[in-house]
Amino acid sequence: NAGVTQTPKFRILKIGQSMTLQCTQDMNHNYMYWYRQDPGMGLKLIYYSVGAGITDKGEVPNGYNVSRSTTEDFPLRLELAAPSQTSVYFCASSGYRDSPYGYTFGSGTRLTVV
Amino acid sequence: GQQVMQIPQYQHVQEGEDFTTYCNSSTTLSNIQWYKQRPGGHPVFLIQLVKSGEVKKQKRLTFQFGEAKKNSSLHITATQTTDVGTYFCAGSTGNQFYFGTGTSLTVIP
């Protein structure tokens, strides 16, 4: 099993550019999440999904959009990138919110906006 | 605001010393999870505690969930250099799930 796969691993964007961070999981998990982690800080929830076709905002959704057309894929879209979006982005999945197996995280995308 | 706080934020220990990180919530948690993130890596799930007063052990790691289900701790006995990383707690309250602020552990050989 690959688990949760994120692409790209690194990206440099110019202010105002857009991009999509890809996330795919092969564990048939219903729940998927996007977090951002600023240097030396904890994890902040951007968006989450409880199943295909269902998404909802987390703590810090502004400047981002998501879609969930399949169980496997949960892409995160950045429109009009800003320096404040420089961060490490983690995608995660779980069978359900309080799964005793916890969340499985991808290896992250390190994004710099200049 | 932040629902789950951890202390200390940073901890340096000599190899072989013990280490403890504490997790405190302003509200009652339905469960608590612990994760470890190695430098430059991603969070990896360690364990989940559900019951009031629950204690679980994984080798040198001991996890506790408070009686009131508002706090938790992770204790590492005789730290090793492989224990280096940031330890996060994460808890469910209502329909929200929050990660703590994390404790960064440095182990000096």
pLDDT in tens, B61-78: 999 999 999 999 999 999
Write the residue in A92, A98, A103 that is nearest to B30 by C-beta.
A98
Nearest to B31 among A45, A92, A98 (CB): A98
Judge whether residue B1 has pLDDT over 70.
Answer: no
Best residue in A10, A27, A33, A37 for a mutation probing chain B (most B CBs within 10 Å): A37
* Residue numbers in B near A110 (CB within 8 A): none
Q: What are the tens digits of pLDDT across the range A50-62?
A: 999 999 999 999 9
Burial of A103 (0-12, 13-18, 19+ CB in 10 A): buried
The residues of A whose Cβ lies within 8 A of any Cβ of B are: 35, 40-43, 45, 90, 92, 97-98, 100-108
Please name the member of B30, B42, B48 whose beta carbon is closest to the beta carbon of A107: B42
Which residue numbers in chain A have pLDDT < 70? Answer: 1
